[in-house]
Amino acid sequence: MVLDLLNQKYGITEEDFLSAELCAVPGFNACDIGLDRSMIGGYGQDDRVCSYAALQGLFRAEKLGKTGVCVLADKEEIGSEGVSGMQSRAFETFVTDLCDSQGVSLQVCFEHSFCLSTDVTACYDPNYAEVYDKRNSSLINRGVGLCKYTGSRGKSGASDASAEVMGYARRVFSEAGVLWHVAELGKVDEGGGGTVALYMANRNIDTVDAGVSVLGMHAPFEVTGKLDCYMNYRAMKAIFEA
């Protein structure tokens, strides 16, 4: 009966499932959370809250300081592999086309570029305090979480932003009136995680992580702060305009 309905409505046959990519996800809508409605609860906020903010930051930038590029990469949760992941040559191919049109070397372009890797950060959760470093974790509704390094077991498998790169991000955020605070992804040897930052840094692009704090990351119901989401958009816009 299910196959018959799928065929009638969408023209899908049983053989189509051999190549289909189907995911069962929660069907409820996002909602306000808290007595003051200061938080958002919903599925899949990692990493929609940051990717949407980055794209809107580019679209609404009043004047670009340099050529602005927003990259929305796939497969980050499995290591950024494949033709649509950040480890592929797709990014180089795209930027090479831009550079060739201007008679500029790709490597020179990368050397003069700056990347804000806008992935979410792990918000301190008192219910699981043992996997966080409370003094160095991001907190909800405190603004953008600026993360010098990610990784697990310390900085393993991470990009560690230089002091100059951190200083640049701090200055741009502060001058634009963006609320921010320093964040980490968990206690050493207990928590941890990764982003695409190391793949950008390996291309000789100055890179640092900054994003929205998330409670219950990867859970069917994730929680973010409205102020953090707005400040993340403001941060992206400021970087494009810098």
Sheet of 213-215: strands edge to edge?
A: 31-33, 39-42, 222-225, 213-215, 121-122
Q: What is the pLDDT of residue 180?
A: 96
SS3 211: strand
Sign of the CA dihedral with 191 first, then 197, 199, and 202 last: negative
Q: Is the pLDDT of residue 119 over 80?
A: yes
Mean pLDDT of 142-149: 94
What value does the CA radius of gyration of the chain take, rounded to a whole number of Å? Answer: 20
Domains by residue range for the chain, with CATH: 28-241 (3.40.630.10)
Q: Which residues pair with 114 in a beta bridge?
A: 206
What is this structure's pTM? 0.89
C-alpha to C-alpha distance for 223 and 95, rounded to whole angstroms: 35
Give the β-pairing of 213-215 and 222-225.
antiparallel
SS3 124: coil
Which DSSP category does 148 fall into?
Answer: S
Q: What is the pLDDT of residue 186?
A: 81
Q: What is the pLDDT of residue 176?
A: 96
Q: Is the pLDDT of residue 155 over 80?
A: no
Burial 56-74 (b: 16+ CB within 10 A, else e): ebbeebeeeeeeeeeeebe
Q: Which residues pair with 210 in a beta bridge?
A: 146
Tell me the pLDDT tens digit for each residue of 58-117. Answer: 999 999 978 999 999 998 888 899 899 999 999 999 999 999 999 999 999 999 999 999
Mean pLDDT of 21-43: 91
Tell me the pLDDT tens digit for each residue of 202-235. Answer: 999 999 999 999 999 999 999 999 999 999 999 9
The answer to whether the beta carbons of residues 200 and 207 sit under 8 Å apart is yes
Average pLDDT, the chain: 92
Q: Which of 25-29, 39-43, 70-74, 95-99 has the lowest mean pLDDT?
A: 25-29
